[in-house]
Amino acid sequence: MENLTPEGFARRIVDLGLASRQEVERAYGELSGGENTTMEDVVKLMQRRGFVSTLQTEKILKGDRSGYFYGDYKVLYLIGAGTFARVYRASKDGEVFAVKVLRKRFRDEPKEMEQFLREGQMGLKLRHPNIVSIFEVVADARNPFLVMEFVEGQTLRDLVRIRGKLPVDLALRLMHEIAGGLAHAAGQGISHRDLKLSNVLISSDGKAKLVDFGLASLSDRKNPDQIADCPNARAIDYAALERGTGVRKDDPRSDVFFAGNMLYHMIAGEPALTETRDRLARLNVSRFQQIKPIHELVPDVPGVVNQLIQRSMEFNPQKRIQSAAALQAEVKRTMDILEKGPSSAAAADNKEGIGAQYEDDDIPTDEGEGYVVMLVESKAGLQNAIRERLKSRGYRVLIIQDPNRALARFEPGEEPPADCVIFSAAELGSLALEAYNKFASDEHTCEIPSILLADRRQTRIISEAKRGPRRKMLALPLKVRELRAALMHVLAGVERRPLGTY
């Protein structure tokens, strides 16, 4: 740790080119402490003005003289780190970028340097809404880096890890976008060759974007007998599949197989292929043949989805879906089939008097992460509709059919099993109303948020329901965004549960 004075810290910002002398002097002059000005005062001021980030501050205090800029790109903070490279958020001329930097220990390794630069050169050719764009490749042997599109969001792996499983419709939509990106790359003669959940980013608006074409290869149609090799650990899975099925290296159907594994992983919460670091185990061809059927993990998975996964992961490449474009078309066909099914079910529910109608706006976000919602509802169709929509927003959902059993789950002095209870009166009628009012009155539950769903024709229930700041009533038919807004309103100020405790 370098022993800097507050004045020295300010001078170092100027010396490093992080801000102009005039900007720093003007800001420093606002501190009225004089000799009593502390380092903490100066650091807070310079960070507040945007002259330095937390990462830059730490580097200055450690005495680092480099790593503040890559070319003209000012490093702001670290956003990702792997064995091969680090990725930073950076800015230039008021715009934000991601800068991917090869780790120092690989810069003298010809193969690693070549692979890193190949990723950049291939990425320059790819412009598609479902692929992270690469704008610049700097092949400086001392400091090679790639300038990429900055995506605000998280990886698909993180999304699945947080939620456990994704709703089928959401998983299919994301796979449709992933396949679209793969199809575009394939049209340029490029296969990805490292498909896994961590190599897909989910932007803040819910769009899937492929990243890391570090193992991507250009198709060599002049050498049809070229066999798959394993230049490094990341390539083993592809090489093992291609060797085991007797196809050439870079067969386009290999990406289809591993895309199928990703779809399986999203829906089941775990991959179809056992994950291991044992090289021999990964090369064992039986790993690709002995895959547990997804319906054993997800009993209610729709048959058309099961078939899609099976055809994507067919061991025999002749029977497998033959290209990324064909995969995208098959995913779309599956989505269309499922869309007709739920709409018919909703119509049937309306005939039975439920009157519940949901809009499919399930863009993946984490707004419900850390919250448990209990739904008190006797109708299976409505249970599934609400559960899947809320799960797609990060909530954990408990289903109970009997209102009295739901109340019994909340015992005085015990940790409440849910952060909010939704009582549905569509079918339960007065039972739901009585439970809702008791929940609002009992001392040990009156501070826990609750929502009552009632048909507009249930005027008595609506008029007799208890009101309050943590109580909300919603009329059926209901839109998803209305339920989400109500949940966010009543849960405002409720502390989220730590990951892994609910």
Q: How far is CA 249 from CA 114, 129, 196, in A?
A: 19, 28, 19
Pairing of strands 69-70, 85-92: unpaired
Q: Is the dihedral of CA 339, 345, 351, 357 positive or negative?
A: negative
Q: What residues have CB less than 8 Å from 56, skipping those under 6 apart?
A: 18, 68, 75, 76
CB 90 within 8 A of CB 99: yes
Query: What's the rounded Cα separation, in Å, for the pair 462 and 318?
Result: 61
Helix count and strand count (H, E) for the chain: 19, 16
Token look-up 């419900």 returns 368
Phi-psi region of 164 (alpha: psi -120 to 50; beta: other; left: phi over 0): left
Residues 321 and 257: their CA atoms lie apart, in Å, by 8
Ramachandran angles phi, psi of 46, nearest 5°: -65, -35
Residue 300 is given by DSSP the state T
d(CA 180, CA 21): 49
Residue closest to 392 by CA, chosen among 364, 357, 421, 422? 364
Residue type, 344: S
Residue 351 main-chain phi, psi, to 5 deg: -65, -30
Does 62 appear as a known binding residue? no
8-state DSSP, 376: E
What are the tokens at 216? 């991507």
Residue 235 is given by DSSP the state: G
Q: Is 140 exposed, middle or buried (0-12, 13-18, 19+ CB in 10 A)?
A: exposed
DSSP sequence for 237-252: HHHHHHHHHT--TT-H
3-state secondary structure of 117: helix
Closest CA to 247 of 234, 228, 260: 228
Phi/psi at 87 (nearest 5 deg)?
Answer: -120, 130
Q: How far apart are CA 244 and CA 178, in angstroms?
A: 26
User: Is 476 in contact with 451 (CB distance < 8 Å)?
Assistant: no
Binding-site sequence positions for ATP:
100
What residues are designated binding site? 100
